[in-house]
Structure 1
Amino acid sequence: MSERRGVQREVLSDLGVSLVSGGILAAGGSAVAALTRSCAGAPVPTWLFVAIAAVALPAAFLLTRRLTRRGPQVFILISAFAQTRWLAGLLDSVARSLDHHGIDLVVKLPRHDYSGQSQVRELNAIRKKRRSFDGGLIVCSHPETIQRELADTSTTIGLPIVFVDIRPFPQVSDYPPNAVFVGCDADEIGERAAQWVGQELREAGRDRPSILVVAGDAQVGRHLAFAAKIRDMVSPSRLDINVQGDFSREGAWDIIDQHLSQVHRRGESLDVIYCTNDEMALGAADAVKKHEAQGYEHNGLFILGVDGTPDALATIKSGATRFRATIVQDPRRIADAAVDLLLRMRDGEHVPTETLLATTVYPAR
């Protein structure tokens, strides 16, 4: 029913354009006829009206449609927006970058975070209104569960599509011709985190550290690549990985609180907490602070996050918690790259299928 209404609106829009252009044509024809009579004092031949109509009607239609058409628009579809503050920075940067080019941004948020079907429903709704857009950006979660739908819908939309932050397809050959990806490599993030942690541990002389990794079930390269790299750099006495953090501050707080309670009961220590986003790292810092307030010491413990959100940077800079560093993904740089790719694709230019941007560490050594 909604698709039928959309088609009806388009037909009514075109009908309106036709009526307006017809008015332009009629006014023009009357003016030409009056001018001809006044100059020649004779009736205007029928063939002259036909010739005028043949030339003027298409021009009037195109001119009127251009005058009545909305300005250029680009959509962005973001899943799991409510739980990830880094995405707020990305959204703001995308809006600013598009505004610089005189393009409006239409934001689409699936009703249910992390739901593949909600994402597909939003894509289907966009497909029905595709004539309203010049292209779109998609930040999808768990793309492995809806890869076929993502490919089919992207192809059907037929607009330039830039996937951002999370790779939608495992191989470059899997991308539809109108789709590309820009973002930071999850494996590179994990390896950079391990390098930072490994160097910190070596400088502290801790050869057999106890390490806890708190992650989510997306962006798995961030914790898998970390685990593989850190084992090459040091020989952990324990390396625990919990993927139930859900990228949320509250989820990480619960995990760290329980883990520290177990560590205390065993009479052991914890050296490193690596969280695969800053929200979880902030939750980890809160949980550690609670245990320290209860009299438990965590000498030498440090926390590392990922993203470089303003809250994380401020907390690290304050030095008031065990949150020591974060792997920074610059949302402005990613947004500018995504918009640039989108506009180049819109203009028919060939662009790389995948564009991977390097991360940095805050604070820099």
Structure 2
Amino acid sequence: FTLAVIPMLNHSGGMQMFNAEVTGITHDKLRPRISQTAKGLWFLYFLLTAILTLLLWIGPMDFFDSLCHAFSSISTGGYSTRDDSIGAWNSAYVKLVITIFMFLGGVNFGLMYKAMHGNLRCFWRNDVFKAYIRIILVFYIFFVIAIVGRGQVTDLSSFTLDPLFQIISTITSTGLTVNNFESWGTFVLALLFLLMFFGSCAGSTSGGAKIDRILFLLKNSGNEVYRCIHPNTMMSVRINDKVIAPDVVSKVIAFLCIYVMIIAAGGILLTAFNIPLVDAFFSSFSCVSNTGLGTGVTGYGESYAIIPASGKWVLSLLMLTGRLEIFTVLLLFTPGFWRK
């Protein structure tokens, strides 16, 4: 928004801010000027919000609830106007529509912008988007197996739409819920840990480490293992058929290391406030990834109200750091950023 309305940032400083916001990985300019790119993305954002509002209004929601949940879903914020969240409507239509738009909120907005202008092939040529789809499908299979294995099948939606909703809600860091997912077992809880860590695509509205970075890490790790056997081999990390510069790969690995250290530090601090170990680390993980899910003492019915005030300060700092993606915070405190 700042880049779109303040022309003075359309120089190197604006490009630095743009690169930082899209995680320093996916920073292709869609238009010649950064301000035009920002305005194009804002138009797409408002368009998706308007469409979702209308679709929810057609269903069982009134206009106010529809508008609030449209804001909440596209931004992957996760707030609801009801204590029972989406479950208050008990509507498969509402779950399905919000699932689709949460999924879109987790897609790189640059890809959707290109698709909106006729380049539909960009989705299937993008390694990150394909990985996003595969992760959702694989985890969906695991979720269904766990739900059926624990005898939690109550109706068709309980093992079809509900797990898909929860997977997409978690990987996009939205945090909306339709059921008490803790009843699905500890295996599902472990899978949610992974989903919160992954996040969705860079350039989306979601939190988490982002799938882009995970791909960088996996491909670079594979290269290093191969070099152990063939030490003289020259290999590079390739994403979307492009060779990634070594300094970008180093930045990604540094980010992931700092990301994990912040989660660990937050979990350790929370245990000092008499929060159980698993719950402390889950809460730290949930806040850094901006998901907002809780389990145990912060789970269904209790939420984070049970955390003492000092613990809330810690969680607030973790949420802020996770939302600003760490390097953005460091960038703002760098004198060179403010020089023209």
Same fold (TM over 0.5): no
If the length of structure 2 is used for normalisation, what is the TM-score? 0.26
If the length of structure 1 is used for normalisation, what is the TM-score? 0.25
Structure whose alpha-carbon radius of gyration is higher: 1
Name whichever structure is richer in strand by fraction: 1
Name whichever structure is richer in helix by fraction: 2
